[in-house]
Amino acid sequence: MATAERARNRVDTRDFLSVDGQLNDEELMIRDNVRTFVSAELLPRVPEWYELGTLDPAVARELGKLGLLGMHLTGYGCAGSSAVAYGVTCLELEAGDSGLRSLVSVQGSLAMFAIWRYGSDEQKNEWLPRMARGEAIGCFGLTESDAGSDPAAMRTVARRDGSDWVLDGTKMWITNGSIAEVAIVWARANEGVHGFVVPTDTPGFSANEVKGKLSLRASVTSELVLDGCRLPADALLPQAQGLGAPLSCLNEARYGIVWGAIGAARSCFESALEYSLGREAFDKPIAAYQLTQAKLAQMVVEVSRGHLLALQLGRLKDAGQIRPEQVSLGKLANVNAALGVAREARTVLGANGITLEYPVMRHANNLESVLTYEGTAEIHKLVVGNAVTGIAAFR
Ligand code: TGC
Ligand code: FAD
Protein backbone atom coordinates (compact mmCIF):
# COMPACT_ATOMS: atom_id res chain seq x y z
CA MET A 1 0.00 0.00 0.00
CA ALA A 2 1.30 3.46 -0.85
CA THR A 3 2.37 5.63 2.08
CA ALA A 4 -0.34 8.19 1.35
CA GLU A 5 -3.02 5.51 1.28
CA ARG A 6 -1.77 4.05 4.61
CA ALA A 7 -1.84 7.47 6.28
CA ARG A 8 -5.33 8.15 4.94
CA ASN A 9 -6.67 4.89 6.26
CA ARG A 10 -5.70 5.80 9.80
CA VAL A 11 -8.54 8.35 9.96
CA ASP A 12 -12.20 8.12 9.14
CA THR A 13 -12.45 11.00 6.70
CA ARG A 14 -16.23 11.03 7.16
CA ASP A 15 -15.98 11.38 10.95
CA PHE A 16 -12.48 12.60 11.83
CA LEU A 17 -13.17 13.04 15.56
CA SER A 18 -15.17 9.80 15.89
CA VAL A 19 -18.20 11.81 16.98
CA ASP A 20 -20.48 8.97 15.98
CA GLY A 21 -18.80 6.85 18.65
CA GLN A 22 -21.02 8.82 21.03
CA LEU A 23 -24.22 7.55 19.41
CA ASN A 24 -26.24 4.69 20.86
CA ASP A 25 -27.30 1.64 18.88
CA GLU A 26 -30.67 3.08 17.87
CA GLU A 27 -29.11 6.34 16.70
CA LEU A 28 -26.49 4.44 14.70
CA MET A 29 -29.17 2.28 13.11
CA ILE A 30 -31.22 5.33 12.11
CA ARG A 31 -28.08 6.99 10.73
CA ASP A 32 -27.31 3.95 8.59
CA ASN A 33 -30.89 3.55 7.37
CA VAL A 34 -31.23 7.20 6.36
CA ARG A 35 -27.77 7.29 4.80
CA THR A 36 -28.55 4.23 2.68
CA PHE A 37 -31.97 5.57 1.69
CA VAL A 38 -30.53 8.95 0.68
CA SER A 39 -27.73 7.49 -1.41
CA ALA A 40 -29.77 4.68 -3.00
CA GLU A 41 -33.19 6.29 -3.47
CA LEU A 42 -32.88 10.06 -3.35
CA LEU A 43 -29.46 11.12 -4.63
CA PRO A 44 -30.04 9.58 -8.06
CA ARG A 45 -33.13 11.81 -8.40
CA VAL A 46 -32.01 15.04 -6.72
CA PRO A 47 -30.06 16.61 -9.62
CA GLU A 48 -33.08 16.26 -11.91
CA TRP A 49 -35.42 17.77 -9.31
CA TYR A 50 -32.93 20.55 -8.80
CA GLU A 51 -32.70 21.26 -12.51
CA LEU A 52 -36.50 21.22 -12.92
CA GLY A 53 -37.00 23.25 -9.74
CA THR A 54 -39.27 20.72 -8.09
CA LEU A 55 -39.48 17.83 -5.65
CA ASP A 56 -41.64 14.76 -6.12
CA PRO A 57 -44.25 15.02 -3.33
CA ALA A 58 -44.39 11.20 -3.26
CA VAL A 59 -41.08 11.37 -1.37
CA ALA A 60 -43.12 12.30 1.71
CA ARG A 61 -44.68 8.82 1.78
CA GLU A 62 -41.26 7.21 1.40
CA LEU A 63 -39.98 9.27 4.32
CA GLY A 64 -43.13 8.37 6.25
CA LYS A 65 -42.53 4.67 5.69
CA LEU A 66 -39.08 5.09 7.21
CA GLY A 67 -40.68 6.74 10.24
CA LEU A 68 -38.84 10.04 9.75
CA LEU A 69 -41.79 12.47 9.75
CA GLY A 70 -42.36 13.87 13.23
CA MET A 71 -39.98 11.18 14.48
CA HIS A 72 -39.05 13.14 17.63
CA LEU A 73 -42.71 13.48 18.66
CA THR A 74 -44.53 10.90 20.76
CA GLY A 75 -47.88 9.21 20.13
CA TYR A 76 -50.17 9.54 17.08
CA GLY A 77 -48.00 7.23 14.98
CA CYS A 78 -44.80 9.20 15.68
CA ALA A 79 -41.64 7.28 16.55
CA GLY A 80 -40.68 9.11 19.76
CA SER A 81 -36.98 9.05 18.81
CA SER A 82 -34.31 10.99 20.65
CA ALA A 83 -33.41 14.52 19.61
CA VAL A 84 -29.99 13.17 18.62
CA ALA A 85 -31.60 10.55 16.35
CA TYR A 86 -33.64 13.30 14.73
CA GLY A 87 -30.48 15.40 14.34
CA VAL A 88 -28.56 12.54 12.75
CA THR A 89 -31.48 12.11 10.33
CA CYS A 90 -31.35 15.79 9.38
CA LEU A 91 -27.59 15.50 8.83
CA GLU A 92 -27.91 12.52 6.51
CA LEU A 93 -30.86 14.03 4.60
CA GLU A 94 -29.10 17.34 4.07
CA ALA A 95 -25.96 15.51 2.94
CA GLY A 96 -28.34 14.64 0.08
CA ASP A 97 -29.92 18.05 -0.38
CA SER A 98 -31.20 20.84 1.87
CA GLY A 99 -34.58 20.50 0.14
CA LEU A 100 -35.00 16.99 1.56
CA ARG A 101 -34.19 18.15 5.07
CA SER A 102 -36.52 21.12 4.57
CA LEU A 103 -39.40 18.80 3.70
CA VAL A 104 -38.82 16.85 6.90
CA SER A 105 -38.21 19.98 9.02
CA VAL A 106 -41.39 21.69 7.91
CA GLN A 107 -43.48 18.55 8.18
CA GLY A 108 -42.23 17.32 11.56
CA SER A 109 -40.79 20.31 13.38
CA LEU A 110 -43.13 23.05 12.22
CA ALA A 111 -46.51 21.76 11.02
CA MET A 112 -46.76 18.56 13.07
CA PHE A 113 -45.06 20.08 16.11
CA ALA A 114 -47.51 23.01 16.10
CA ILE A 115 -50.47 20.60 16.16
CA TRP A 116 -48.78 18.24 18.63
CA ARG A 117 -47.85 21.03 21.05
CA TYR A 118 -50.77 23.45 20.67
CA GLY A 119 -53.60 21.44 19.08
CA SER A 120 -56.79 19.89 20.47
CA ASP A 121 -57.13 16.10 20.78
CA GLU A 122 -59.39 16.16 17.72
CA GLN A 123 -56.81 18.06 15.67
CA LYS A 124 -54.05 15.69 16.76
CA ASN A 125 -56.06 12.59 15.97
CA GLU A 126 -57.21 13.94 12.65
CA TRP A 127 -53.86 15.09 11.29
CA LEU A 128 -50.83 13.65 13.06
CA PRO A 129 -51.10 9.96 12.06
CA ARG A 130 -51.63 10.84 8.40
CA MET A 131 -48.82 13.39 8.49
CA ALA A 132 -46.48 10.87 10.13
CA ARG A 133 -47.19 8.46 7.26
CA GLY A 134 -46.60 11.21 4.68
CA GLU A 135 -50.17 10.87 3.41
CA ALA A 136 -50.85 14.49 4.31
CA ILE A 137 -48.18 17.13 3.77
CA GLY A 138 -48.16 20.17 6.03
CA CYS A 139 -46.83 23.69 5.68
CA PHE A 140 -46.24 26.50 8.18
CA GLY A 141 -47.26 30.02 7.24
CA LEU A 142 -45.65 32.66 9.42
CA THR A 143 -43.64 34.90 7.07
CA GLU A 144 -45.24 37.61 4.94
CA SER A 145 -43.63 39.62 2.17
CA ASP A 146 -43.24 42.59 4.54
CA ALA A 147 -42.85 40.61 7.77
CA GLY A 148 -39.97 38.14 7.68
CA SER A 149 -37.44 38.71 10.44
CA ASP A 150 -40.10 40.62 12.32
CA PRO A 151 -43.17 38.37 12.33
CA ALA A 152 -44.80 40.66 14.90
CA ALA A 153 -45.43 42.99 11.93
CA MET A 154 -47.73 40.42 10.27
CA ARG A 155 -50.84 41.79 8.54
CA THR A 156 -52.82 38.59 8.11
CA VAL A 157 -55.90 38.97 10.27
CA ALA A 158 -58.31 36.58 11.91
CA ARG A 159 -61.75 37.92 12.83
CA ARG A 160 -64.67 36.20 14.48
CA ASP A 161 -67.94 35.88 12.62
CA GLY A 162 -70.41 34.12 14.87
CA SER A 163 -68.57 31.03 16.00
CA ASP A 164 -66.47 30.93 12.78
CA TRP A 165 -63.10 32.49 12.12
CA VAL A 166 -62.40 34.36 8.88
CA LEU A 167 -58.79 34.78 7.71
CA ASP A 168 -57.56 37.44 5.30
CA GLY A 169 -53.99 38.04 4.23
CA THR A 170 -51.03 36.65 2.32
CA LYS A 171 -48.13 34.51 3.51
CA MET A 172 -44.92 34.35 1.51
CA TRP A 173 -41.99 31.96 1.08
CA ILE A 174 -43.88 29.00 2.49
CA THR A 175 -42.13 25.64 2.04
CA ASN A 176 -44.46 22.87 0.78
CA GLY A 177 -47.26 25.48 0.40
CA SER A 178 -48.70 24.28 -2.89
CA ILE A 179 -48.26 20.56 -2.20
CA ALA A 180 -49.75 20.69 1.30
CA GLU A 181 -53.02 19.17 2.46
CA VAL A 182 -52.91 21.27 5.62
CA ALA A 183 -51.49 24.69 6.42
CA ILE A 184 -50.71 26.01 9.87
CA VAL A 185 -51.46 29.70 9.47
CA TRP A 186 -50.55 32.36 12.01
CA ALA A 187 -52.78 35.43 12.03
CA ARG A 188 -53.43 38.47 14.18
CA ALA A 189 -56.72 38.74 16.05
CA ASN A 190 -57.86 41.47 18.44
CA GLU A 191 -56.40 39.61 21.41
CA GLY A 192 -53.07 38.69 19.76
CA VAL A 193 -51.54 36.14 17.38
CA HIS A 194 -53.44 32.86 16.88
CA GLY A 195 -52.62 29.70 14.97
CA PHE A 196 -55.11 27.92 12.71
CA VAL A 197 -55.22 24.46 11.18
CA VAL A 198 -56.37 25.14 7.62
CA PRO A 199 -57.17 22.26 5.25
CA THR A 200 -55.92 23.54 1.91
CA ASP A 201 -59.19 22.69 0.15
CA THR A 202 -61.00 25.28 2.30
CA PRO A 203 -62.73 27.88 0.08
CA GLY A 204 -60.77 31.14 0.23
CA PHE A 205 -57.40 29.37 0.54
CA SER A 206 -55.06 29.21 -2.43
CA ALA A 207 -51.33 28.71 -2.98
CA ASN A 208 -49.10 29.95 -5.78
CA GLU A 209 -45.68 28.44 -6.33
CA VAL A 210 -42.67 30.78 -6.30
CA LYS A 211 -40.73 30.36 -9.53
CA GLY A 212 -37.22 31.40 -10.52
CA LYS A 213 -35.44 30.36 -7.32
CA LEU A 214 -31.70 29.86 -7.70
CA SER A 215 -31.45 28.16 -4.31
CA LEU A 216 -33.34 25.31 -2.65
CA ARG A 217 -34.64 24.29 -6.05
CA ALA A 218 -35.46 20.73 -4.98
CA SER A 219 -38.15 22.13 -2.69
CA VAL A 220 -41.54 23.69 -3.28
CA THR A 221 -41.88 27.28 -2.03
CA SER A 222 -45.19 29.11 -2.25
CA GLU A 223 -47.31 32.13 -1.52
CA LEU A 224 -50.44 31.39 0.51
CA VAL A 225 -53.48 33.57 -0.13
CA LEU A 226 -56.27 33.74 2.44
CA ASP A 227 -59.21 35.57 0.97
CA GLY A 228 -62.18 35.48 3.30
CA CYS A 229 -61.08 31.99 4.30
CA ARG A 230 -63.84 30.82 6.65
CA LEU A 231 -62.99 28.23 9.28
CA PRO A 232 -65.02 26.58 12.01
CA ALA A 233 -64.23 27.49 15.61
CA ASP A 234 -62.36 24.24 16.11
CA ALA A 235 -59.73 25.19 13.51
CA LEU A 236 -58.07 27.39 16.14
CA LEU A 237 -55.01 25.89 17.87
CA PRO A 238 -56.43 26.22 21.39
CA GLN A 239 -53.17 26.18 23.33
CA ALA A 240 -51.28 28.70 21.16
CA GLN A 241 -51.35 32.15 22.66
CA GLY A 242 -49.29 34.98 21.22
CA LEU A 243 -46.18 35.12 19.06
CA GLY A 244 -44.26 32.89 21.45
CA ALA A 245 -46.19 29.89 20.04
CA PRO A 246 -44.91 30.06 16.43
CA LEU A 247 -41.48 31.11 17.69
CA SER A 248 -41.32 28.00 19.88
CA CYS A 249 -41.97 25.86 16.78
CA LEU A 250 -39.01 27.57 15.12
CA ASN A 251 -36.70 26.29 17.87
CA GLU A 252 -37.53 22.75 16.77
CA ALA A 253 -36.76 23.34 13.11
CA ARG A 254 -33.68 25.45 13.82
CA TYR A 255 -32.31 22.60 15.91
CA GLY A 256 -32.60 20.26 12.90
CA ILE A 257 -30.73 22.79 10.75
CA VAL A 258 -27.82 22.79 13.22
CA TRP A 259 -27.27 19.15 12.24
CA GLY A 260 -28.42 19.38 8.64
CA ALA A 261 -25.93 22.08 7.68
CA ILE A 262 -23.11 19.78 8.72
CA GLY A 263 -24.48 17.12 6.36
CA ALA A 264 -24.27 19.56 3.45
CA ALA A 265 -20.75 20.56 4.55
CA ARG A 266 -19.66 16.95 4.86
CA SER A 267 -20.90 16.19 1.37
CA CYS A 268 -18.95 19.16 -0.03
CA PHE A 269 -15.78 18.13 1.81
CA GLU A 270 -16.03 14.54 0.61
CA SER A 271 -16.58 15.66 -2.94
CA ALA A 272 -13.56 18.00 -2.79
CA LEU A 273 -11.37 15.33 -1.19
CA GLU A 274 -12.20 12.69 -3.75
CA TYR A 275 -11.81 15.12 -6.62
CA SER A 276 -8.47 16.42 -5.37
CA LEU A 277 -7.04 12.91 -5.13
CA GLY A 278 -8.04 12.07 -8.68
CA ARG A 279 -7.43 15.35 -10.49
CA GLU A 280 -3.89 15.98 -11.71
CA ALA A 281 -2.40 19.35 -12.53
CA PHE A 282 1.28 20.04 -13.20
CA ASP A 283 1.89 16.25 -13.11
CA LYS A 284 0.59 15.67 -9.58
CA PRO A 285 -2.79 15.16 -7.92
CA ILE A 286 -3.95 18.56 -6.74
CA ALA A 287 -4.32 16.97 -3.27
CA ALA A 288 -0.52 16.90 -3.16
CA TYR A 289 -0.27 20.70 -3.12
CA GLN A 290 -0.08 22.46 0.23
CA LEU A 291 -2.66 25.04 -0.81
CA THR A 292 -5.19 22.28 -1.49
CA GLN A 293 -4.38 20.47 1.74
CA ALA A 294 -4.86 23.71 3.69
CA LYS A 295 -8.36 23.93 2.21
CA LEU A 296 -9.16 20.30 2.98
CA ALA A 297 -7.78 20.55 6.52
CA GLN A 298 -9.90 23.62 7.23
CA MET A 299 -12.97 21.81 5.87
CA VAL A 300 -12.32 18.89 8.24
CA VAL A 301 -11.97 21.35 11.13
CA GLU A 302 -15.28 23.03 10.30
CA VAL A 303 -17.22 19.80 9.76
CA SER A 304 -15.82 18.19 12.93
CA ARG A 305 -16.41 21.26 15.09
CA GLY A 306 -19.95 21.67 13.77
CA HIS A 307 -20.70 18.00 14.32
CA LEU A 308 -19.58 18.23 17.95
CA LEU A 309 -21.64 21.37 18.45
CA ALA A 310 -24.72 19.62 17.05
CA LEU A 311 -24.22 16.61 19.31
CA GLN A 312 -23.86 18.83 22.37
CA LEU A 313 -27.13 20.61 21.53
CA GLY A 314 -28.73 17.21 20.96
CA ARG A 315 -27.66 16.01 24.38
CA LEU A 316 -29.01 19.21 25.95
CA LYS A 317 -32.29 18.78 24.08
CA ASP A 318 -32.65 15.15 25.12
CA ALA A 319 -32.04 16.22 28.72
CA GLY A 320 -34.78 18.85 28.36
CA GLN A 321 -32.25 21.61 29.04
CA ILE A 322 -31.78 23.31 25.70
CA ARG A 323 -32.40 27.06 25.51
CA PRO A 324 -33.51 28.98 22.38
CA GLU A 325 -30.35 31.10 22.39
CA GLN A 326 -28.23 27.93 22.33
CA VAL A 327 -30.14 26.80 19.25
CA SER A 328 -29.52 30.23 17.71
CA LEU A 329 -25.80 29.91 18.37
CA GLY A 330 -25.80 26.49 16.73
CA LYS A 331 -27.75 27.58 13.66
CA LEU A 332 -25.57 30.67 13.24
CA ALA A 333 -22.28 28.80 13.65
CA ASN A 334 -23.06 25.70 11.61
CA VAL A 335 -24.72 27.35 8.64
CA ASN A 336 -21.88 29.86 8.37
CA ALA A 337 -19.37 27.04 8.66
CA ALA A 338 -21.16 24.98 6.01
CA LEU A 339 -21.28 27.91 3.61
CA GLY A 340 -17.54 28.43 4.06
CA VAL A 341 -16.87 24.76 3.39
CA ALA A 342 -19.11 24.75 0.32
CA ARG A 343 -17.47 27.80 -1.18
CA GLU A 344 -13.96 26.47 -0.57
CA ALA A 345 -14.87 23.01 -1.87
CA ARG A 346 -16.20 24.63 -5.03
CA THR A 347 -12.77 26.09 -5.76
CA VAL A 348 -11.12 22.67 -5.42
CA LEU A 349 -13.33 21.31 -8.18
CA GLY A 350 -12.41 24.08 -10.60
CA ALA A 351 -14.82 24.36 -13.52
CA ASN A 352 -16.42 21.02 -12.67
CA GLY A 353 -17.48 22.59 -9.39
CA ILE A 354 -20.12 24.71 -11.07
CA THR A 355 -22.02 21.76 -12.52
CA LEU A 356 -24.84 19.56 -11.24
CA GLU A 357 -22.61 16.54 -11.81
CA TYR A 358 -21.09 17.29 -8.41
CA PRO A 359 -23.12 18.27 -5.34
CA VAL A 360 -21.00 21.22 -4.26
CA MET A 361 -22.52 24.20 -6.05
CA ARG A 362 -26.00 22.81 -5.37
CA HIS A 363 -25.22 22.73 -1.65
CA ALA A 364 -23.58 26.16 -1.77
CA ASN A 365 -26.67 27.64 -3.41
CA ASN A 366 -29.02 25.85 -1.02
CA LEU A 367 -27.12 27.09 1.99
CA GLU A 368 -27.88 30.68 0.98
CA SER A 369 -31.55 29.92 1.74
CA VAL A 370 -30.64 28.04 4.90
CA LEU A 371 -28.68 31.10 6.05
CA THR A 372 -31.82 33.21 5.61
CA TYR A 373 -34.74 31.04 6.66
CA GLU A 374 -35.54 30.02 10.21
CA GLY A 375 -34.05 33.33 11.33
CA THR A 376 -31.31 35.07 9.36
CA ALA A 377 -27.71 35.02 10.54
CA GLU A 378 -28.18 38.61 11.70
CA ILE A 379 -31.24 37.71 13.79
CA HIS A 380 -29.36 34.84 15.45
CA LYS A 381 -26.43 37.17 16.19
CA LEU A 382 -28.90 39.52 17.85
CA VAL A 383 -30.41 36.64 19.85
CA VAL A 384 -26.96 35.61 21.10
CA GLY A 385 -26.05 39.27 21.65
CA ASN A 386 -29.21 39.72 23.70
CA ALA A 387 -28.39 36.60 25.72
CA VAL A 388 -24.91 37.79 26.68
CA THR A 389 -25.65 41.48 27.20
CA GLY A 390 -29.22 41.43 28.41
CA ILE A 391 -29.95 44.18 25.86
CA ALA A 392 -32.40 43.42 23.04
CA ALA A 393 -31.16 45.18 19.90
CA PHE A 394 -33.81 43.89 17.47
CA ARG A 395 -35.62 47.22 17.24
P1 TGC B 1 -40.17 39.01 21.47
O2 TGC B 1 -40.93 40.12 22.14
O3 TGC B 1 -38.73 38.81 21.78
O4 TGC B 1 -40.91 37.62 21.71
C5 TGC B 1 -42.31 37.50 21.63
C6 TGC B 1 -42.66 36.33 22.52
O7 TGC B 1 -42.06 35.15 21.98
C8 TGC B 1 -41.14 34.57 22.92
N9 TGC B 1 -40.00 34.07 22.16
C10 TGC B 1 -39.74 32.76 22.04
N11 TGC B 1 -40.35 31.68 22.57
C12 TGC B 1 -39.82 30.48 22.25
N13 TGC B 1 -38.73 30.35 21.45
C14 TGC B 1 -38.11 31.40 20.90
N15 TGC B 1 -37.06 31.24 20.10
C16 TGC B 1 -38.61 32.69 21.19
N17 TGC B 1 -38.25 33.95 20.83
C18 TGC B 1 -39.11 34.77 21.43
C19 TGC B 1 -40.78 35.70 23.86
O20 TGC B 1 -40.38 35.21 25.11
C21 TGC B 1 -42.10 36.45 23.92
O22 TGC B 1 -42.96 35.72 24.78
P23 TGC B 1 -43.99 36.52 25.74
O24 TGC B 1 -44.67 35.43 26.50
O25 TGC B 1 -43.14 37.42 26.57
O26 TGC B 1 -44.90 37.26 24.81
O27 TGC B 1 -40.41 39.15 19.91
P28 TGC B 1 -39.82 40.16 18.89
O29 TGC B 1 -40.97 40.60 18.07
O30 TGC B 1 -38.98 41.21 19.56
O31 TGC B 1 -38.88 39.23 17.97
C32 TGC B 1 -37.82 38.49 18.43
C33 TGC B 1 -37.14 37.77 17.25
C34 TGC B 1 -36.52 38.77 16.29
C35 TGC B 1 -36.03 36.92 17.86
C36 TGC B 1 -38.16 36.89 16.52
O37 TGC B 1 -39.12 37.67 15.91
C38 TGC B 1 -37.53 36.00 15.47
O39 TGC B 1 -37.07 34.90 15.79
N40 TGC B 1 -37.52 36.41 14.17
C41 TGC B 1 -37.09 35.53 13.08
C42 TGC B 1 -38.30 34.99 12.35
C43 TGC B 1 -38.05 33.64 11.77
O44 TGC B 1 -37.12 32.93 12.11
N45 TGC B 1 -38.92 33.24 10.88
C46 TGC B 1 -38.86 31.89 10.34
C47 TGC B 1 -40.13 31.56 9.61
S48 TGC B 1 -40.38 29.84 9.34
C49 TGC B 1 -39.21 29.42 8.23
O50 TGC B 1 -38.36 30.14 7.88
C51 TGC B 1 -39.27 28.04 7.74
S52 TGC B 1 -37.99 27.58 6.66
C53 TGC B 1 -38.47 26.01 6.53
C54 TGC B 1 -37.53 25.08 5.92
O55 TGC B 1 -36.72 24.45 6.64
O56 TGC B 1 -37.69 24.87 4.70
P1 FAD C 1 -35.88 40.57 5.99
O2 FAD C 1 -36.47 40.34 7.33
O3 FAD C 1 -36.45 41.66 5.15
O4 FAD C 1 -34.33 40.80 6.15
C5 FAD C 1 -33.51 41.34 5.10
C6 FAD C 1 -32.12 41.59 5.69
O7 FAD C 1 -32.23 42.54 6.76
C8 FAD C 1 -31.51 40.32 6.30
O9 FAD C 1 -30.12 40.34 6.11
C10 FAD C 1 -31.82 40.49 7.77
O11 FAD C 1 -30.93 39.77 8.61
C12 FAD C 1 -31.65 41.99 7.94
N13 FAD C 1 -32.35 42.47 9.13
C14 FAD C 1 -33.68 42.39 9.41
N15 FAD C 1 -33.92 42.90 10.63
C16 FAD C 1 -32.73 43.27 11.14
C17 FAD C 1 -32.32 43.84 12.37
N18 FAD C 1 -33.18 44.09 13.35
N19 FAD C 1 -31.00 44.10 12.54
C20 FAD C 1 -30.10 43.81 11.57
N21 FAD C 1 -30.42 43.26 10.39
C22 FAD C 1 -31.72 42.99 10.18
N23 FAD C 1 -41.21 31.29 6.19
C24 FAD C 1 -42.27 30.63 6.76
O25 FAD C 1 -43.03 31.19 7.54
N26 FAD C 1 -42.50 29.32 6.44
C27 FAD C 1 -41.72 28.64 5.57
O28 FAD C 1 -41.96 27.45 5.33
C29 FAD C 1 -40.61 29.31 4.97
N30 FAD C 1 -39.85 28.67 4.05
C31 FAD C 1 -38.87 29.37 3.39
C32 FAD C 1 -38.18 28.76 2.33
C33 FAD C 1 -37.22 29.47 1.63
C34 FAD C 1 -36.51 28.82 0.47
C35 FAD C 1 -36.91 30.80 2.00
C36 FAD C 1 -35.83 31.57 1.26
C37 FAD C 1 -37.59 31.42 3.03
C38 FAD C 1 -38.59 30.72 3.72
N39 FAD C 1 -39.35 31.33 4.72
C40 FAD C 1 -40.40 30.67 5.31
C41 FAD C 1 -39.15 32.75 5.02
C42 FAD C 1 -37.95 33.06 5.90
O43 FAD C 1 -38.18 32.67 7.22
C44 FAD C 1 -37.65 34.55 5.79
O45 FAD C 1 -37.15 34.77 4.49
C46 FAD C 1 -36.68 35.03 6.84
O47 FAD C 1 -37.27 35.01 8.11
C48 FAD C 1 -36.16 36.45 6.54
O49 FAD C 1 -37.21 37.31 6.23
P50 FAD C 1 -37.13 38.25 4.91
O51 FAD C 1 -36.78 37.39 3.77
O52 FAD C 1 -38.37 39.02 4.86
O53 FAD C 1 -35.89 39.20 5.15
Ligand 2 pocket (Cβ < 6 Å) reads 106, 140-143, 148-149, 173-175, 216, 221, 369, 372-373, 376, 378-379, 394
Q: Say what percent of the chain tops pLDDT 70.
A: 98
Ligand 1 atom nearest residue 142's Cα = 47
Q: For the residues 148-153, what does the mean pLDDT come to? A: 98
DSSP 236: B
3-132 belongs to which homologous superfamily?
A: Acyl-CoA dehydrogenase/oxidase, N-terminal domain (1.10.540.10)
How do residues 62-86 score in pLDDT, each as one tens digit? Answer: 999 999 999 999 999 999 999 999 9
Ligand 1 pocket residue status of 106, Cβ below 6 Å = yes
- Per DSSP, the residues of 313-379 read HHHHHHTT---HHHHHHHHHHHHHHHHHHHHHHHHHTGGGGGSTTSSHHHHHHHHHHHHHTTS-HHH
Q: How confident is the model at residue 286 (pLDDT cuts 50, 70, 90)?
A: very high
**Cβ pair 141, 171 in contact under 8 A:** yes
Instruction: State how far the Cα of 96 lies from the Cα of 138, in Å rounded to an integer.
Output: 21
Say how many Å lie between the CA of residue 146 and the centre of ligand 2: 10
Q: Cα 144–148–152 angle (5° rounding)?
A: 85
The CATH number assigned to the domain with range 138-235 reads: 2.40.110.10
pLDDT at 2: 60
What are the structural domain ranges in the chain?
Answer: 3-132, 138-235, 244-389
Q: Under 8 Å CB-to-CB from 376, ≥6 apart: which residues?
A: 149
Residue from 92, 191, 374, 378 carrying the catalytic annotation: 374
Catalytic residue check, 374: yes
The pLDDT value recorded for residue 9 is 66
User: What pTM value is reported for the model?
Assistant: 0.97
Residue located nearest, by CA, to atom 52 of ligand 2: 148
Tell me the best of 106, 143, 198 to mutate to test the pocket of ligand 2, counting ligand atoms within 8 Å of each CB and taking the most.
143
Does ligand 1 have an atom closer than 6 angstroms to the CB of 247? yes
The stretch 126-144 carries a mean pLDDT of 98
Checking phi first, is residue 75 left (phi over 0); if not, alpha (psi -120 to 50) or beta?
A: left
> Do residues 181 and 106 touch, judged by C-beta distance below 8 A?
no
Domain 244-389 coded CATH 1.10.10.10:
no
Q: How many CB atoms lie within 10 A of CB 162?
A: 7
The bound ligand whose nearest atom lies closest to the alpha carbon of 378 is 2
Nearest ligand 2 atom to the CA of 382 is 19
